[in-house]
Amino acid sequence: MAHGDLWQSVLGEIEKRVRRQQFETWFRSVRAADVTPARLCLAVPNRFYKDWLETYYIPVIKESAEAVTGVAPEVALAVDSQAAFSAEEADEAERDAAEAYETPPPANEPVARLTSGAEYRFSPNNVFETFVVGPANRLCHAAAMAVVDAPGKAYNPLFIHGGVGLGKTHLLQAACRAYLAKNPRARLVYTSCEEFVNDFVSALQRGDVAAFRQRLRDVDFMVIDDIHFLARAERTQEEFFHTFNSLYNAHKQITLSSDSAPAEIPSLEERLVSRFKWGLVARLDPPAYETRLAIVNMKSDLRGVGMPKDVSEYIARSIDTNIRELEGALTRVIGYAALTNRPIGLPLAQEALRDLMVARPSVSIEDIAKVVSARYNVKLSDLQGKRRLKSVALPRQICMHIARRMTEYSLEEIGGFFGGRDHTTVLYADDKVAQLVKRDTRLRAILSEVEAELTRNAR
């Protein structure tokens, strides 16, 4: 892809992420000086443009470039003397810039207010319509939609937890957008816990805690991402405790996300753990193969790229860690095709993702059941039967846990093998064994030995 074409593609992505007036003011006059996927050297008309872009738009430029090429580049800005504005034109540009920065966005572009009063623009793709629902995330999705329909009543608080890149932020922003669409005059706060902590510390330093409290407690819908950061700040936990009580008692909706369940957040006060459990605690799990395939197809459609079926299946089979890495793999394939000027096909995808691939053994659910039944001296027919004997329940749960870790079978397929049990039973078993392993060293050793034996047999 030529330098100019690459920059035009990046500009197309930038245009999706900023308001039209901001785009026209700041980016129409920027040209590509020396552009590669790893480094963007951009020429701007004057020093004012350079300072403003460096201060406010470098992250947008990097994210947009990464969306095109799959690589987050270094960005360098330089004043282009040949294209420099006159003093009069520079003054006019500065006035336009101020207006672009201060003018409220159109009503159809939802904006939330951070605790500092700055604006936060939601990702345009983070809506319920683009959230691919599967067994591993169905409860969280339904709960997020429920709090939009009945804020402060359905689930309050709603506490969503799960690993990195599984869709927590997508769900939170989707809920915010849907709520603002239904309640355009509502007072909504969407912020990260880190921002909450920083704002509280700043308020303490300014002696302005009363105003900080007023901003947070006079809202209808409060959403805080990554609430586990509270564990680092004892004084802020006290403040959040009172904010939580104030909003809860006023029947205002509180929605939180974390990488851990409430009881697993280290150094979190017990009274906060208790309150986080008052509503609904819902966990996001890594998506099964079918869900991953649907995500790949959804993401490629959103980008307007026709993805061959075998390529979609290859990406979905190869990346099973989280949605963020799955999307990153898709971006890499698309970017690689553009850079090499080749059509997207399976050989190209294998080439583009070569360094991401890790050889993994082929293990079946039956293989797992046989090894576990021998280890615990139970019959395979008992594991697959309906009996709930204690001597059979744990080995069956261990089988389900290992199947989730070592195979690409869906929750329904795993549950079906073990007596036609539904996906919620598999999720419960997986979670229970994961919790037991944390405190039971003997069980941890058994699981390690079983997985090692399965890996050896599969080679």
Q: In whole numbers, what is the pLDDT of the chain averaged over residues?
A: 81
Domain 289-356 of CATH type 3.30.380.10: no
Give residue limits of the domains in the chain: 3-102, 128-284, 289-356, 365-458
Q: Which of 172-181, 208-217, 258-267 has the highest mean pLDDT?
A: 172-181
What tens digit of pLDDT does each residue of 210-259 get? 888 888 888 999 999 989 888 767 788 888 899 999 999 999 999 999 98
CATH number for the domain whose boundaries are 365-458: 1.10.1750.10
- The domain 128-284 belongs to what CATH superfamily? P-loop containing nucleotide triphosphate hydrolases (3.40.50.300)
What is the reported pLDDT for 232?
A: 64
Task: Label residue 148 by pLDDT band (50, 70, 90).
Answer: very high
Report, as an integer, the average pLDDT of 85-99: 42
Q: 46-52: which pairs have CB atoms within 8 A and are 24 or more residues apart? A: 46/79, 46/84, 46/85, 46/90, 46/93, 47/79, 48/90, 48/93, 48/94, 48/97, 49/79, 49/93, 50/77, 50/78, 50/79, 52/26, 52/97
Q: What is the CATH number of domain 3-102?
A: 3.30.300.180
Check whether 455 has a pLDDT greater than 90: no
> Higher confidence at residue 457 or residue 98?
457
Say yes or no to pLDDT of 143 above 70: yes
Distance CA 352, CA 222 (A): 41
**Residue pointed to by tokens 């009543």:** 153
pTM of the complete model: 0.56
The one-letter amino acid at 298: M
pLDDT of residue 221: 94
Average pLDDT over residues 246-275: 89
pLDDT of residue 253: 95
CA pair distance 217, 202, nearest whole angstrom: 17
